[in-house]
């Protein structure tokens, strides 16, 4: 069972199959919880395998993403984020929209954003991160079905990971394993299909995604095999550690909400995606953010600090990165 690092300061790979299989012993389950705890305290990042999601489903997600990003610009414009209902924030976000720091240039990535499918006639539709998805002009079975099937896998995996994380908290906090289950009820789940094209000239002030922490509770990231570029900041050694693609693995990272809810016990680590100037060097990834139920709020699980409400918190953080280039949320 996992936890083994590939070398000094390498992001660990953890196999969670003991958590998912009914036949495993309590000792095997505790070993997974301990590995996840250690990785989340130390790096805020780990690679997860043993999730039970077939490889073919991961490959199909990339095939669908490539179909979308290969559409001509006027077709991508048909689902531009500006067309999303109210403040639901769905659809195509072109390159050069998100800016994480004033002294840096906006990110080169382009993304297609999908959320929980909420019908347009729902009373909540059009409120922050809530509403119907925008679907591009692609065959339903090649795009929409694939995306929603992948999304439902991610929701289930996110629930599993939240439970594992809660069980790894210090015993003296006395948290029941379901302490954060409220987060995962009708959660806001923005999922970004990401495409990083080659840049013409590398500029030190520009990144695929500039250094940032995620606002989410947790993020489940699928990286395309054979690509590189994701790096995580490791304060003890003060350097950027690459996060290599692990076969059939997801990168799990702790976001700011989880860091808040665990009084800083789990670390929301800064990370970035560097650009490549090499022609034909494209990178695809899929980032699923478990923000959580937008009404959910709690103090940290050790009883400290003020309450943080998911919706208010994520909205303020997101707005700060969109500036005047993105929609008003
Ligand atoms: O594409 C990646 O590898 C990471 C993307 C990311 O960090 C983000 O969208 O927050
Ligand atoms: Fe991120």
What is the distance, to the nearest Å, from the Cα of residue 177 to the centroid of all Cα atoms in its chain? 22
For residues 154 and 287, what is the distance between their CA atoms, to the nearest angstrom? 10
Burial class (CB in 10 A: 0-12, 13-18, 19+), 303: exposed
Mean per-residue pLDDT, 257-284: 93
Model pLDDT, residue 236:
86
Let me know: does 277 contact 201? Beta carbons within 8 Å.
yes
For residues 160 and 169, what is the distance between their CA atoms, to the nearest angstrom? 15
Q: For 76-125, how does the pLDDT look when each residue is reduced to its tens digit (9 = 90+)?
A: 999 999 999 999 999 999 998 888 888 999 999 999 999 999 999 999 99
Model pLDDT, residue 149:
98
pLDDT > 70 fraction of the chain, expressed in percent and rounded: 97
Q: For 161-184, how does the pLDDT look when each residue is reduced to its tens digit (9 = 90+)?
A: 999 999 999 999 999 999 999 999
For the CA of 287, the nearest atom of ligand 1: 9
Model pLDDT, residue 318:
87
Q: Residue 41 is inside which H or E element, if any?
A: helix 26-42
What is the distance, to the nearest Å, from the Cα of residue 21 to the centroid of all Cα atoms in its chain? 25
For the CA of 196, the nearest atom of ligand 1: 1
- DSSP codes joined into one string, 190-213: -EEEEEEPPPSS--TT--SEEEE-
Instruction: Tokens for 224, please give them.
Output: 């395309």
Residue with tokens 């709020």: 297
For residues 86 and 107, what is the distance between their CA atoms, to the nearest angstrom? 24
**Ligand 1 neighbourhood includes 192 CB (under 6 angstroms):** yes
Model pLDDT, residue 1:
36
ipTM for the predicted complex comes to 0.99
For residues 245 and 15, what is the distance between their CA atoms, to the nearest angstrom? 15
Residue minimizing CA distance to atom 8 of ligand 1: 287
**Ligand 1 neighbourhood includes 287 CB (under 6 angstroms):** yes
**Ligand 1 neighbourhood includes 270 CB (under 6 angstroms):** no
Q: Residue 70 is inside which H or E element, if any?
A: none
What would you report as the CA-atom Rg of the chain, rounded to the nearest whole angstrom? 19
**Ligand 1 neighbourhood includes 283 CB (under 6 angstroms):** no
Model pLDDT, residue 8:
60
Q: For 3-62, how does the pLDDT look when each residue is reduced to its tens digit (9 = 90+)?
A: 444 456 689 999 999 999 999 999 999 999 999 999 999 999 999 999 999 999 999 999
**Ligand 1 neighbourhood includes 223 CB (under 6 angstroms):** yes
| Mutation probe of ligand 1 site: the residue of 11, 221, 227 with most atoms within 8 A of C-beta | 221
For residues 318 and 99, what is the distance between their CA atoms, to the nearest angstrom? 10
């Amino acid at each position: 069972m996992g936890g083994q690092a590939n070398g000094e300061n390498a992001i660990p790979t953890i196999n969670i199959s003991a958590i998912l299989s009914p036949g495993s012993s309590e000792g095997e389950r505790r070993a997974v919880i301990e590995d996840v705890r250690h990785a989340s305290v130390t790096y805020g990042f780990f690679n997860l395998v043993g999730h039970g999601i077939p490889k073919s489903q991961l490959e199909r997600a990339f095939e669908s993403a490539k179909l979308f990003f290969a559409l001509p610009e006027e077709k991508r414009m048909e689902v531009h984020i500006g067309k999303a209902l109210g403040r639901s924030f769905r659809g195509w976000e072109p390159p050069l929209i998100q800016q994480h720091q004033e002294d840096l240039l906006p990110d080169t990535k382009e993304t297609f954003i999908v959320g929980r499918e909420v019908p347009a006639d729902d009373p909540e539709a059009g409120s922050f991160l809530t509403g119907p998805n925008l679907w591009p002009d692609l065959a339903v079975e090649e795009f929409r079905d694939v995306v929603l099937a992948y999304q439902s896998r991610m929701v289930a995996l996110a629930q599993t990971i939240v439970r594992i994380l809660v069980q790894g908290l210090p015993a003296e906090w006395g948290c029941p394993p379901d302490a954060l289950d409220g987060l995962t009820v009708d959660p806001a789940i923005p999922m970004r299909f990401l495409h990083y094209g080659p840049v013409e000239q590398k500029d030190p002030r520009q990144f695929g995604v500039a250094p940032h922490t995620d606002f989410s509770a947790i993020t489940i990231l699928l990286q395309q095999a054979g690509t590189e570029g994701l790096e995580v900041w490791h304060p003890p050694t003060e350097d950027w550690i690459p996060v290599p693609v692990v076969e059939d693995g997801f990168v799990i990272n702790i976001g700011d909400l989880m860091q808040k809810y665990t009084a800083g016990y789990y670390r929301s680590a800064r990370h970035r995606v560097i650009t490549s100037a090499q022609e034909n060097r494209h990178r695809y990834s899929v980032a699923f953010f478990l923000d959580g139920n937008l009404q959910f709020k709690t103090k940290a699980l050790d009883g400290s600090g003020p309450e943080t409400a998911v919706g208010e918190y994520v909205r303020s953080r997101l707005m700060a990165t969109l500036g005047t280039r993105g929609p008003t949320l």
